[in-house]
Each structure stands twice: as structure tokens, then as C-alpha cells.
Structure 1
Amino acid sequence: MKNRIKELFGIEIPIIQAGMIWCSGWELASAVSNSGALGIIGAGSMYPNILRTHIQKCKAAVGGKPFAVNVPMLYPQIEELMAIIIEEQVPIVFTSAGNPKTWTAHLKEKGIKVVHVVSSLKFALKAEAAGVDAVVAEGFEAGGHNGRDETTSLVLWPMVSQALQIPMIAAGGIASGQQILAAFALGAEAVQIGSRFVASEESSAHQAFKQAVIDAEEGDTMLTLKELAPVRLIKNEFFQQVQQAYIKGTTKDELQQILGRARAKRGMFEGDLIEGELEIGQVSGMIKNLKPAREIVEELWQDFENHKQALREI
């Protein structure tokens, strides 16, 4: 069966590692790409000169295999990031958190393939109209910043895949081959996985945060701060401060003061499990170990093949 994502990116395995701030530098991206899947450098936490270094190191490590860069559209120095991406001839860009019309045409003129991350059918249609090559449809279960509509993956994926002509990549709540098979059954041609790759040896997340992900159980994450930018977090002391503020009837400005600056860096990169933002998906409750990225990809795909075969035997 033809798989448009594999053809579009030139990859062997239709698994994409999400571009996660503070967690996905060149080490993780290159390890995933070298496994036959697609690795992504998360530019949202990088100064322009740091991004250039990560791109150059990733290019050297993958030896011609494809990789991508994720760029949140709200990044304050986005013009500089895009200029570096073009200069360094990055083959694929994933955009998120903004209007895809702003950069899609310019990037495609430079021969770069463009994918946009969406959390609703409405935004998926807008992304297709903007000319992107594919969309990532990310359900409410996902970690980090999320959609305001809280549409779950099981609902979002078929709505998007049935409405669009371009291929859909499914994201949100995937950490097993069985879940990958479900995504394919609902119209996906690839999956994007974040949380499982946070708990990888090559992830740039702090070891304490990786352990917190492994230790997380069902119900340990929750979406909050919808007035600012909805984000799914592990329920630590910072999260409880936010919840207490809601109980007291806080304002948006007061929430912003509580959030402050660099909370995500503090939690995920520096390992402050008390006062930091610990962004991770609901599927963290299924993640019980730390492994090399290549082993994660191989296990995911073998599990997918095993469950696909089991369904054929029913």
C-alpha cells in the first residue's frame, strides 16, 4: 500500500519524533533519523546561533538521511530561525502555534517540505489551504501546549483524515505499536510521538524530569492555563499553585505572574520538579523505562507489525 508520508520525507518507518522544547536537540533527532524514522530538532527553546549548531551537528550525524526542524510560529526571532533553516538547507520544517500562511509559501519556494501541527478540523483545513504538504493532527491527550477545543485523538484523527486531500500524521497519546495501528485505522499515514522519546537516552531533558515521566501514573497530568496557552502538565507543586489561584478566582494577569518566565526550562531542562513546568502527555502513564531512541523506534514498529498480524487472524 502506498504511504504518502514515507514518500514525502524519504523515510523507511512512518514514525516521527516530535519537536519538543528542551527535549529534542540534535542527538535525539539524529538517533531517530538514523533508525529509519524522522527526527526533529525542536527550535522553540533555541537562540538562532544554537539552532544553527544543532542543525550542523545533526546533518553530520545523519549522513544524508532526512531530518526536520520544528518552529513555533510565535517565536520572537522567527525571521532569524527561518533564515538559518534556509541557509543550512534543512529539508523539512514542521510549524506550529500560529498561522501557516505566514511562512509556508516562502519555505516551499526554497524547496523545503512544510508540515503544520493542528488541534482541530478547522485549523487543519486552513493549513491545507495555506499549501502545506501534510498536517499533524494532535489530540487533547498530548503533552505540552494543546488545543482549546480539547478534541480527543479518537475523534480528531478521522475527522481530519476524511476532510483533507493531503496526508495526515496522527499525534496525541501514542506510545505503543498497538496505538500506531489504531491511528492508521483512523486515517493516519504516519504518527508523531513525543512523550515516549522524552524518556530516551538521547533526549536533552534533565534526568530528573525523565524519571518523573517514568514514574507518572494514570491521572498524573492535566490540561491547565487555558486563559494563557493550554498546556498539559504533571501535577507538581507549581501546578497546585495554579489550581489554588483558580479556586480564588484569579485574573489572567495574575496567572501570568504566577507562570513567570522560563518555567518549562526550569522543569524539563534544569530538573526542578517542584517549581518547574513539567510538560508531558497522558500516555506517560504507559512509559516505564528509559531506552535508546533506535530501540524505541524498533520496538514500536515491531509491536505495530505484531498487532497488525493479530488482527488479520481474527
Structure 2
Amino acid sequence: MTNKITDLFQIKYPIIQAGMVWNSGWRLASAASNAGVLGLIGAGSMYPEVLREHIQKCKQATQKPFGVNVPMLYPDIEKIMDIIVEEDVKIVFTSAGNPKTWTSYLKEKGITVVHVVSSVKFALKAQEAGVDAVVAEGVEAGGHNGREETTTFTLIPMVKEQIQIPLIAAGGIASGRGMLAAMVLGADAVQVGSRFVASEESSAHQAFKKVVVDAKEGDTVLTLKELAPVRLIKNKFYEDVQKLYKTSPNIEQLKELLGRARAKKGMFEGDLEEGELEIGQIAGLIHDIKPVAQIVNDLMLEFEDAKQAISNL
């Protein structure tokens, strides 16, 4: 299967494994790339030298293309970009910031740049900044979300109507049927996050993976919108947030409750009570933990079956 995205990244299938904090280390990224999709290392949870180590180990584990996802709101961004250039990473996904800040610099170094957006407005800004493609992510997605709260299947056709560069759909996609639906609406590829959290190669804690596969419809919620909207699984920490909201807190009080390293505590260390358990709404459709290669194979088999079923209508 070839299209704009498979050609752009030199991959077999038009699927991107999302670069998620505390989940997407070199093992996940290399396994995804070896399975024929684009693997991404999630730099958001890594100190610069830790990122360097993950890039080097990923190079040793795969000969296929892989990239790094860089949330631009994190500290040490200059050091992270320097390491990406020094280690000759060919693909960078940027998010949570202005694409104009780093796109020209990265492209001058011969790097393919993709920016994650949550609205038509920001998709156009990313295109203007010179990115090679955009990821349009709907509010169904796990982790930090856009303030617009637009659903994926509303967002994709609206972005498609306005941009000329390749479009990747994200948020609420964990099956071949979802992949086909996103592409029918105009996406050239899909970015999959939550399904790869529940993989054997994910760096997430096993206890968190189990919570993901046990999750049902309605178990995730978008909260902390005053800080940065985040979708997470309801647990004690979430209930503490709700109790605080009843007191009409200010931003400083919300920040104090959130504290530091909540996401690490929950997803990486497995504290299911006090941790921040970030996952998408689609968790209700994820029922098992599998090797990445099997997940990719399942996605493509279901995609082809769904495509055949549609053609028979």
C-alpha cells in the first residue's frame, strides 16, 4: 500500500505509532518500525541524554525509518533539538507549540517535519510554517488535547478541505475499521497511540497496561482544562481533582494539586491511585496486550476486510 505518507516516510503501511510520554521508548519505536509502520520515540518524558540513549538503541534495533516526537512546551528544548541533529534523526514530530519556532531550522538540516494540531486554524499555521505534513488530533485522544474539543471525525474533513499537505488522523483510532473510516474522510494515514500503549514493547508499567485493557466506555474524561486539557482514566487522583473543583479553585491551587511527575507516577511507575493515567477514549475497545508486530498485522487485516465489505455494499 503506497500513498503520500508511505512515500514521505518510506514505510510499508500508512500508520504512525504515536510518540507518547512514558510509553514510547526505543523498544516500542523500533518494534513499530520493524513491523512496517513509523515508530516514534516520545521525547517529552526524557532528559536530553536519556533521549540520546534511546535514539542510539533504536538505531541498533532497526534499520527502518523512525522519528522523535518533541512537545515544545518542555524544558531543554534546545538541547533536545541539538541531540536530534547530532544523532542524524531524519523525522521529527513537533507538538504543543508554535511550528514556526523550529520547522525552518530542522528542515535546513534535512529533517522531515510533522506538526500535531487540534484545529483547522493551527493546521493552516503549520502548513504556512513549512511542515511536510500535519497530524490532526481529535478530543478522543489520550493525554493532552486541544482546547477546541473537536472530535476526530469532525476535524479530519474540515482540515482536509483547507490544506494541501498530507494529513494524518489521530484520536480514537485503534482498529483497521477506524483507520479506513479516517482515510475515507480524507486522511492519508493514521496515528495510533492507545493501542500501542497496550503492547508488550511499550515502556508503560504493566499495572497501567492492565487498567487500559480493563477500561470501559466512559472510564476516561477530559479535565484540568484551565491548565492544559488532559484525557485520563478516572481514579483517586481524578476524584481529588473533582473535589477541588467544588471549591472553585484558582489556577495556582490546581497546579499545586497536580504537582510534578503525576504522569510518570501513574503510567511508568504504576501508581494507579495517585498517578495521572493518560489514555484515549478508544481504550474501551482494547482488550489485550499484544506484541507490536501482531497489533500492526491485526490493523491491516481488519483494514483490508473492512475495505472489501464496503466495496460489496
**Do they superpose with TM above 0.5?**
yes
The aligned residue for residue 182 of structure 2 is: 183
Counting only pairs closer than 5 Å after superposition, residues 20-59 of structure 1 correspond to structure 2 as: 20-59=20-59
Deviation per residue, 1:90-110 (Å, 9 max, x gap): 010000000000000000001
Distance 1:198 1:162 in 2: 31
* Matched AA of 1:193: V
Residue type matched to 2:149 in 1? E
Letter in 1 for 2:134: V
> Aligned residue for 1:84?
83
Counterpart-to-counterpart distance in 2, 1:79 and 1:250: 34
- Contact 2:29/2:41 (8 A) holds in 1: yes
**1:160-239 → structure 2 map (5 Å cutoff):** 160-239=159-238
CA RMSD of aligned residues (A): 0.7
Give 2:100's aligned residue.
Answer: 101
- Confirm whether residue 116 of structure 1 aligns to residue 118 of structure 2: no
**Counterpart-to-counterpart distance in 1, 2:153 and 2:4:** 22
| Residue type at the aligned position of 1:219 | G
Q: Distance in 2 between matches of 1:76 and 1:48?
A: 10
Please tell me whether the aligned partners of residues 2 and 13 of structure 2 are also in contact (alpha carbons under 8 angstroms): no
Q: Distance in 2 between matches of 1:301 and 1:100?
A: 32
Per-residue CA distance 1:56-112 (angstroms, 9 max, x = gap): 11011112x100000001111000000000011101000000000000000000100
> TM-score w.r.t. structure 2 length?
0.99
SS in 2 for 1:196: helix
Instruction: Give the residue type in structure 1 aligned to 2:42.
Output: G
Query: How many Å separate the matches in 1 of 2:160 and 2:12?
Result: 22
Distance in 2, Cα, partners of 1:162 & 1:196: 28
Deviation sequence 1:162-209 (CA, Å, 0-9, x none): 110001000000011000000000100110000000000000000000
Secondary structure at the counterpart of residue 53 of structure 1: helix
Displacement after TM superposition at 1:2 (Å): 5.7
Note the alpha carbon deviations across 1:115-169, whole angstroms, 9 max, x for none. 0000111100000000000000000100000011100011100001111000100
Between the aligned partners of 1:230 and 1:147, the Cα distance in structure 2 is 7
SS state at 1:150 partner: coil
Cα distance in 2 between the residues matched to 1:240 and 1:22? 23
Structure 1 runs of 4+ off > 6 angstroms? none
Number of residues of Structure 1 aligned to a counterpart in Structure 2 = 313
Provide TM-score, normalisation by structure 1.
Answer: 0.99
Could you say what secondary structure the match of 1:219 adopts? coil
Alpha-carbon distance change, 2 to 272 in structure 1, aligned in 2, over 3 angstroms: closer
**Match in the other structure for 1:299:** 298
Equivalent position amino acid for 1:280 in 2: I
Return the alpha-carbon distance in structure 2 between the equivalents of residues 186 and 3 of structure 1.
15
Deviation at 1:244, TM superposition (A): 1.1
In the alignment, residue 290 of structure 1 is paired with which amino acid? I
Unaligned runs of 5+ in 2: none
Take 1:162 and 1:307, find their aligned partners in 2: how far apart are those partners?
25
SS in 1 for 2:165: coil
Question: 2:277 matched to 1:278?
Answer: yes
Deviation at 1:224, TM superposition (A): 0.3
- State the alpha-carbon separation in 1 of the partners of residues 13 and 121 from structure 2: 29
- Kindly indicate whether the alpha-carbon contact (under 8 Å) linking 2:2 and 2:12 is maintained by their aligned counterparts in 1: no
Paired with 2:172 and 2:308, the residues of 1 have a C-alpha distance of 22
User: Does residue 19 in structure 1 map to residue 22 in structure 2?
Assistant: no
Matched letter for residue 5 of structure 1: I
